[in-house]
A and B are shown apart, each in its own frame.
Chain A
Amino acid sequence: MPHPLEGRFSVDHSARLIRNYRYAVERALRALGGWIALTPEISAKLLMGRHVWDLAQHADAFGKRLPELRAPAQVSEPPNPAFAAFMDALEEPEGKEQTVERLVGVYRVLKPHLLATYRDHVARANPVYEPPTRRILERCIEDEARHIAAGETILRHLASTPALDERAAVWQGRLEGLLAAAGGVTGDGLPQASAAPPTATQPPELDDDAREWIRLERTVTVWPIPDDLRATLQSFGDALLARDAAAPRRWLAAGAAWDVGAESSLYAVKPAAHRVVAFARVGHHRLVKLSFEGADGAATLLTRWVPAADGWRVAALEVARVDAARPALPPP
């Protein structure tokens, strides 16, 4: 039977591990914070927004523990340049269409690794003289398990097609390779897979329930478009698809000008289908964003409709954005 005062870590080594954890956590929280503005999906924004503060508290607790271990407070340190390179790669996906990659990096690679590492550390830290570190790690373990569960819920929601799922798996594989090459967050090698479940076993509380964020993202399932306007929008969109120069102009309101530039930007994407992507109101006016998707990309038309004696008329239209079709992602 081991002696109760037998220990695996020296004070200096323990401080080094804590600086390593703090490095990973600090970079992750700054990345999550910065990504919120780059991420279009509300559910993913809320996920990131919730977890920035938990991670900041982890980094803070690690940082405050350091002087108790004869080391300067609030210092982060990577174990080696390879781990810094892993974090650089994790932070890379900044495109608005790369939410899945962002979440995969944090929620399927980094956090599961941190969770396993913290559990491994607690299992090996001396229970008599290392409770200050153990208490901190136990809180982190609880939070990480909860975060991973929430992240997984959002990822399953966002990576909802086989193509996206495949992209997620490819990115995960690439990051896991970098992480293994670095020897993990401590540089000492990846911890043994833990017998404990990788995610939280307790159902989340309402304030941290990712399923609710998905529900809130979909607060409206059907735009409250009046039937006559819906029919008008269908015919208007069809006329634009048909590239009939005269037909769409029939809906122009008296005194309104037709935007030829908008029309040609629209044709440039070779539109084959159209759909309503936003529906707002200003008094009696209705603002409708119509997305036209085609072989060469997508164009979003912002239109303003006003009720007239003979039906809905378009009082303004402009191209809100044009996205050229992207070539398939190159292999990693």
Chain B
Amino acid sequence: MRAREVAQLKIDQGLPPFPDLASRDSIKDRVHGIMVGELQAMEGAGRTVCDFPEAPWEFTLDMARQVWDESRHVEIYLRLLEHLDGYAGEFPETTILWRCACAEDAAARVAGVNRGLEGLACDVFNQLVHIARKMGDPILERAVEFVLADEITHVRMGSKWLTRLTEGDPERRRRAIEFQETIDERFNLGGMRRLGDHEAVPVSIATDVRRMAGFTEEEIERLIKSTQRSQVY
């Protein structure tokens, strides 16, 4: 099903279109979505290992490391689903993340996936750690905190390879960043992702984490502005 259709079905039933983490069931719904996202991240990183044999070897090495991380993340979220009395397949999901991972150019892929989607993952995981801490679930809190640490590493890899792969080719860099920006705009979580404190906004943009992962102040500023515009997901 399309993400939009699922959201509409929820609205029709008087439910929030995206899990607001206000209940355990809603947290389970979110964790389920993340598990499927991790699966698609593993598939995407795996394709990147396979699709670019001409890229520098260190690029393959980083992407292979990411495959390993994502495969552990899938396992972690499958176990968290068990912890929350859920199961894989309980909620409908889409392949939208995978489709975003299908850019032809390696630089666009790392910009869109590692910086765009995994940057979004940092925002979401940061919020989930906060909520787990608040509701006193140390299993959820600790596991997601470690996944978040890995994701920051992946975003940092994205920043590094966006720069290296496009060295001396400003046009390629421009196209890759443009691709990333389309992703940033598409994944605003229905306008829930905004600048602000965890208590004040539904999903807070993790600005510190992004700085740690190689985002410039200007990029963070642009992202914040984009969350104030329209969105499809």
Residue interface bits A274-287, CB-to-B below 8 A is 1, else 0: 00001111111101
- The answer to the question of A9 belonging to the interface, with a C-beta cut-off of 8 Å to chain B, is no
Interface centre among A63, A213, A279, A283 (most CB of B within 10 A): A283
- The answer to the question of B232 belonging to the interface, with a C-beta cut-off of 8 Å to chain A, is no
Shortest Cβ distance from B14 into A: residue: A283
A residues less than 8 Å from B39 (CB atoms): 42, 45
Q: Are A49 and B67 in contact (CB under 8 A)?
A: yes
B residues less than 8 Å from A295 (CB atoms): none
A residues less than 8 Å from B67 (CB atoms): 33, 36, 49, 52-53
- Given A31-B50, A37-B43, residue A280 in contact with residue B68 (CB < 8 A): no
Shortest Cβ distance from B63 into A: residue: A33
B residues less than 8 Å from A199 (CB atoms): none
Q: Among A33, A42, A74, point to the contact of B46 (Cβ < 8 A).
A: A33
State the Cβ distance, A113 to closest chain B Cβ, in Å: 22
State in angstroms the CA–CA spacing of A212 and B98 once bound together. 25
Place the interface of chain A in its size category: 35 or more
- Given A53-B68, A216-B79, residue A34 in contact with residue B88 (CB < 8 A): no
- The answer to the question of B51 belonging to the interface, with a C-beta cut-off of 8 Å to chain A, is yes
Q: Are B1 and A46 in contact (CB under 8 A)?
A: no
- Given A32-B46, A37-B98, A220-B89, residue A53 in contact with residue B13 (CB < 8 A): no
Q: Among B46, B51, B82, B92, point to the contact of A52 (Cβ < 8 A).
A: B46
Interface class of chain B by DSSP: helix
- Given A45-B39, A63-B57, A219-B82, residue A33 in contact with residue B50 (CB < 8 A): yes
- The answer to the question of A299 belonging to the interface, with a C-beta cut-off of 8 Å to chain B, is no
Q: Are A49 and B70 in contact (CB under 8 A)?
A: yes
State in angstroms the CA–CA spacing of A284 and B68 once bound together. 37
- The answer to the question of B49 belonging to the interface, with a C-beta cut-off of 8 Å to chain A, is yes
- The answer to the question of B74 belonging to the interface, with a C-beta cut-off of 8 Å to chain A, is yes
Q: How many residues on chain B are close to A (CB under 8 Å)?
A: 42
- The answer to the question of A229 belonging to the interface, with a C-beta cut-off of 8 Å to chain B, is no
Q: Are A34 and B64 in contact (CB under 8 A)?
A: no
A residues less than 8 Å from B43 (CB atoms): 36-37, 45
Residue interface bits B121-154, CB-to-A below 8 A is 1, else 0: 0000000000000000000000000000000000
Q: Are B91 and A282 in contact (CB under 8 A)?
A: yes
State the Cβ distance, A98 to closest chain B Cβ, in Å: 16
A-B contact count (CB 8 A): 120
Shortest Cβ distance from B42 into A: residue: A49
Q: Are B15 and A50 in contact (CB under 8 A)?
A: no
- The answer to the question of B221 belonging to the interface, with a C-beta cut-off of 8 Å to chain A, is no
Interface class of chain A by DSSP: helix
- The answer to the question of A207 belonging to the interface, with a C-beta cut-off of 8 Å to chain B, is yes
State in angstroms the CA–CA spacing of A220 and B86 once bound together. 9
State in angstroms the CA–CA spacing of A46 and B73 once bound together. 10
State the Cβ distance, B221 to closest chain A Cβ, in Å: 35
B residues less than 8 Å from A282 (CB atoms): 6, 9-10, 13, 91-92
- The answer to the question of A230 belonging to the interface, with a C-beta cut-off of 8 Å to chain B, is no
- Given A37-B43, A279-B89, A285-B9, residue A60 in contact with residue B74 (CB < 8 A): no
Further 12 A-B residue pairs, CB within 8 A, beyond A36-B67, A49-B42: A33-B63, A45-B39, A45-B71, A48-B71, A49-B46, A53-B67, A216-B88, A219-B78, A219-B81, A279-B89, A282-B10, A285-B13
* 24 A/B residue pairs, CB under 8 Å, sorted by A: A30-B53, A31-B50, A33-B47, A33-B48, A34-B46, A34-B47, A34-B49, A36-B47, A42-B78, A48-B46, A48-B71, A49-B42, A49-B46, A49-B68, A49-B74, A54-B68, A56-B49, A213-B75, A216-B78, A219-B81, A219-B82, A282-B6, A282-B91, A283-B13
Q: Which A positions have Cβ atoms within 8 angstroms of B? A: 29-37, 42, 45-46, 48-50, 52-56, 60, 63, 74, 207, 212-213, 216, 219-220, 278-285, 287, 302, 304
Q: 3 closest Cβ contacts across the A-B interface?
A: A49-B71, A34-B50, A33-B49
